[in-house]
Protein backbone atom coordinates (compact mmCIF):
# COMPACT_ATOMS: atom_id res chain seq x y z
CA UNK A 1 0.00 0.00 0.00
CA UNK A 2 1.62 3.27 -1.08
CA UNK A 3 1.68 6.08 1.48
CA UNK A 4 2.25 9.63 0.27
CA UNK A 5 3.06 12.51 2.61
CA UNK A 6 2.61 16.06 1.31
CA UNK A 7 3.61 19.09 3.39
CA UNK A 8 2.55 22.58 2.41
CA UNK A 9 3.29 25.98 3.87
CA UNK A 10 0.00 27.55 4.87
CA UNK A 11 -3.51 26.29 4.31
CA UNK A 12 -5.25 24.76 1.31
CA UNK A 13 -8.96 24.74 0.62
CA UNK A 14 -10.85 21.46 0.76
CA UNK A 15 -11.22 21.66 -3.04
CA UNK A 16 -7.45 22.08 -3.49
CA UNK A 17 -6.75 19.09 -1.23
CA UNK A 18 -9.30 17.02 -3.12
CA UNK A 19 -7.77 17.93 -6.49
CA UNK A 20 -4.22 17.26 -5.28
CA UNK A 21 -5.28 13.89 -3.82
CA UNK A 22 -7.00 12.85 -7.05
CA UNK A 23 -4.03 13.87 -9.21
CA UNK A 24 -1.39 12.22 -7.02
CA UNK A 25 -3.48 9.04 -6.81
CA UNK A 26 -3.84 8.95 -10.59
CA UNK A 27 -0.09 9.31 -11.19
CA UNK A 28 0.91 6.67 -8.65
CA UNK A 29 -1.73 4.23 -9.84
CA UNK A 30 -0.61 4.67 -13.46
CA UNK A 31 3.17 4.73 -12.94
CA UNK A 32 3.48 2.21 -10.11
CA UNK A 33 0.65 -0.04 -11.22
CA UNK A 34 -1.07 0.17 -7.85
CA UNK A 35 -4.86 0.06 -7.39
CA UNK A 36 -6.13 3.57 -6.53
CA UNK A 37 -8.02 2.28 -3.49
CA UNK A 38 -4.73 1.22 -1.88
CA UNK A 39 -3.08 4.66 -2.09
CA UNK A 40 -3.15 6.68 1.14
CA UNK A 41 -2.30 10.39 1.11
CA UNK A 42 -1.51 12.58 4.12
CA UNK A 43 -1.59 16.36 3.66
CA UNK A 44 0.10 18.34 6.42
CA UNK A 45 -0.50 22.08 6.53
CA UNK A 46 2.35 23.83 8.31
CA UNK A 47 2.28 27.43 9.50
CA UNK A 48 4.78 29.60 7.67
CA UNK A 49 6.38 30.56 10.98
CA UNK A 50 7.36 26.92 11.48
CA UNK A 51 9.41 26.79 8.27
CA UNK A 52 12.76 28.44 7.61
CA UNK A 53 14.63 28.81 4.34
CA UNK A 54 18.23 29.98 4.36
CA UNK A 55 18.03 30.46 8.11
CA UNK A 56 15.09 32.87 7.87
CA UNK A 57 11.53 32.05 8.89
CA UNK A 58 8.98 32.24 6.10
CA UNK A 59 6.28 34.86 6.22
CA UNK A 60 2.70 34.21 5.22
CA UNK A 61 1.70 35.74 1.89
CA UNK A 62 -0.20 38.99 2.21
pTM recorded for the entire structure: 0.85
Per-residue pLDDT tens digits for 21-59: 999 999 999 999 999 999 999 999 999 999 999 999 999
Higher per-residue confidence, 20 vs 1: 20
Question: How far, in Å, CA of 4 to CA of 6, rounded?
Answer: 7
Question: How far, in Å, CA of 4 to CA of 60, rounded?
Answer: 25
Higher per-residue confidence, 23 vs 1: 23
Q: Does residue 62 have a pLDDT over 90? A: no
Q: What is the pLDDT of residue 58?
A: 93
Report residue 4: phi and psi, to 5°: -120, 130
Mention every residue, 6+ apart, whose C-beta is less than 8 A from residue 47: 9, 10, 60
Enzyme catalytic residues: 2
Amino acid sequence: MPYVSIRVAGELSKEQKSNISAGVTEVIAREAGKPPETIVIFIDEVKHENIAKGGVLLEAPK
